[in-house]
Structure 1
Amino acid sequence: MYKDNFTHRQIMTDHLYEYHHYRNDTPPEIDFHQHEFYEIYLFISGSVNYIIEGRTYKLQPGDILLTNNSDIHRPEILPSDQPYERSIIWLDEDFFRGMRLIGEDLTACFKDAARRNYRLIRPTKSQLAQIQKLCEILEFERASNQIGNRVMAYSAIATILVLLSRAYYDTPDSAQKDITESDLVNQIITYINEHLAEDLTLDDLADHFYVSKYHLSHQFKQFTGLSLYQYIMKKRLTIARNMLMTGTPVTTVYTKCGFNDYSNFLKAFKREFGMNPSDYTKKSK
């Protein structure tokens, strides 16, 4: 089976989709990040706690995670006698537009996972076997020069999405035992996402949730892996990037994302994404 050489690249270089199959004998260190695309992550082996938006998922082989273009996430890869192996599919928004032409919105499970803040799919053995077989087809067609190989790969991904959509709603309640979370942190994250344009200071949030600043800071860092400031800044920049992708003027973007000063927004955006907002807008077009 084909294996990719792992890199820390988090930007798509192909149009519509990318498929990667990675295997690392030495656990790599991966920072918190976010994408401008959807991601399907199929865990094969190793020992991983995956942190997404304040929840930590203790993964079992065969588990699948769904992340969208605003989720801040990071795998915590632990030492294991098994290699860290996974398959990853990246999907651009344009991929789903083709599906919508025939009346299917296969982003529904991604959106519902974000709404519920619950990204885990634990498929049955039968569902997993079908998905793994389709991944093998993807790998074969990607390396093939035969006529129609792109169509076959596209078809395999579309079928995977259908199976995932069905498996998502069938995931057993017993999977909850492998999730570590805090009700307080979940509420804070929801509040932040709903009030990004407003001042979100530690003092204000502590007063709103009737907790001490120390307790809030400690709990937030414990469950998200980021300080409150780091999370708010990453979230604001991520939403700003997504708004720029849809053509929203930069003057609207930075105020709606809670940046009261354009120069500060410019510096923070360039630090996070490696280019200024106007260059990013041109790239998106």
Structure 2
Amino acid sequence: MNTRFFEFHHYVDLEPPEVAFHEHEFYEVFFFLSGNVDYVVEGRTYQLRPGDILLTNNRDIHRPEVRPGKPYERYVLWLDGDFFQSVQDFGDDLSACFTDAARKKYKLIRPGGDSLTHLRRLCAYMTQIQEEGLFGSHVLMYACLVEFLVYLNRAYFETPDEIRLDVTENPKINQILLYIEDHLSDELSLDGLAQQFHLSKFYLSNKFKQYAGLTLYQYIMKKRLTIARNMLRSGTPVMEACMRCGFSDYSNFLKAFKREFGHMPREYMPQGR
């Protein structure tokens, strides 16, 4: 993010972009408008319909799979965690939908008619505010954003469970993903996980890549680095983050971190900002 608290974007691609698996330092609201798109988030593939919204946090590894045939249009909202703190005094936790989605490991919102109309209208207005750039634009954006998040939370908690039918997932791979996240400081290998979950190495390797979109090694490495980055941002010393995320070699950790994020770990610590 290049601005404090939030960024808002409206994107349209006429040709399908190639997007690698990635993660963010912030919360993301992905508001899908048109296109032929499946979205992979942490081993689950969401078959998107126009008007669908996905919520991801700073731990989620994700990417869109965009097919040709229609323009790919979406609104994207990025939110720093400090934004939610800035509105906490009003009494409602506007991050509640993100917290619940993280707990359930289920990221999709499908707003109903009135909610969808209202959310789209707010996004169109925020786009207009940004384009005009008149006096008080940032204040207006902030006010619209608070309203948007109120209705986003309402839409999230009103979304019926039936939309899970539009999600492709594998219960065994979901269990393995949870295990990896809970055991990042342990030794994690294909041999060990196959034995732990009573699977053949061939089956585990193929099914993991099919549902998570990455090889087991790639996923574990990206998840470890992502969690290490988050720990550094909260003030954890570099060596402690390295060890707690399962890196036994400090030099290899530094190299992998720089390769993944383009910066050295110390640059993510509060005093380095």
Same fold (TM over 0.5): yes
Q: Give the structure 2 partner of residue 236 of structure 1.
A: 224
Are 1:138 and 2:122 matched, yes or no? Answer: no
Counterpart AA for 1:281: M
Query: Pairwise mapping of residues 40-189 of structure 1 onto structure 2 (< 5 A)?
Result: 40-80=29-69, 82-189=70-177
Once the two structures are superposed, residues 126-159 of structure 1 have per-residue CA deviations (whole angstroms, 9 ceiling, x without a partner) of: 1010001111221122123433221111111111
In the alignment, structure 2 segments of 5+ residues that lack a partner are none
Calculate the TM-score normalised by the size of structure 2: 0.97
Are 1:272 and 2:253 matched, yes or no? Answer: no
Q: Give the structure 1 partner of residue 251 of structure 2.
A: 263
Structure 1 residues 58 and 136, CA gap change in structure 2 (3 angstroms): same
C-alpha separation in 2, matches of 1:171 and 1:70? 23
Are 1:218 and 2:206 matched, yes or no? Answer: yes
Tell me, yes or no, if the aligned pair for 1:245 and 1:284 is still in contact at 8 Å.
no
How many residue pairs get aligned? The number is: 273
Structure 1 residues 283 and 64, CA gap change in structure 2 (3 angstroms): farther
SS in structure 2 of the partner of residue 48 of structure 1: strand
Give the deviation of 1:93 after TM superposition. 1.2
C-alpha separation in 1, matches of 2:201 and 2:268? 36
Candidates 170, 186, 192, aligned match of 1:204: 192
Once the two structures are superposed, residues 189-246 of structure 1 have per-residue CA deviations (whole angstroms, 9 ceiling, x without a partner) of: 0001111111111111111111111111111000011000000000000000001111
Tell me, yes or no, if the aligned pair for 2:32 and 2:73 is still in contact at 8 Å.
yes
Give the deviation of 1:282 after TM superposition. 5.9
Are 1:18 and 2:7 matched, yes or no? Answer: yes
SS in structure 2 of the partner of residue 13 of structure 1: coil
SS in structure 2 of the partner of residue 44 of structure 1: strand
C-alpha separation in 2, matches of 1:195 and 1:113? 21
100-109 or 120-129, which deviates more: 100-109
Runs of 4 or more, structure 1, over 6 Å off, are none
Tell me, yes or no, if the aligned pair for 2:233 and 2:270 is still in contact at 8 Å.
no
C-alpha separation in 1, matches of 2:128 and 2:231? 36
In the alignment, structure 1 segments of 5+ residues that lack a partner are 1-11
Counterpart AA for 1:235: K
Counterpart AA for 1:31: A
